[in-house]
Amino acid sequence: MQVTFQNLKVIKNKKGNLIKIYSKRDFFRRIAESYISEINHNKIKAWRFHKKTNQKLVLIEGNCIVVVFSKKKIKKFKLSYKKPKLLQIPKKTWYGFKNLSSKKKVKILNFIDKKYDENEIERKKINEIRYNW
């Protein structure tokens, strides 16, 4: 599995659009849990690494940068509510977030394929991986 970034289908409606996130055929075999992660205005949450858990992320409010560090390569992805995307982060990949929204929290919907377990997560301080936020 590799990091992937794909467009989500937006179904237009004059009363309010519908954004299709989940389809059984293109998701995990199973979803163990889903939660919303918030990032406060002008804050960075970095660095995290899941030993066993694959993630699929959808931004539901705000704008942010997601930086992924895998196999000595750094990739940057911009998530925006106005252009919905699904970002897949496989296990054994370092990643972090920066809120780009003005005076708003960023909210990210996270689908994981294993039950959340604090013991399977590794963390590094922001300066332990060289990246200029």
Measured CA to CA, the distance from residue 88 to residue 77 in angstroms comes to 11
Task: Provide block-wise average pLDDT over 10 residues at a time, the chain (133 residues).
Answer: 76 79 66 91 95 94 94 90 91 96 91 92 94 93
Measured CA to CA, the distance from residue 8 to residue 96 in angstroms comes to 22
pLDDT, residue 47, reads: 96
pLDDT, residue 36, reads: 92
pLDDT, residue 39, reads: 96
Measured CA to CA, the distance from residue 130 to residue 133 in angstroms comes to 9
Question: What SS3 state is found at 133?
Answer: coil
For residue 94, the one-letter residue type is W
For residue 69, the one-letter residue type is F
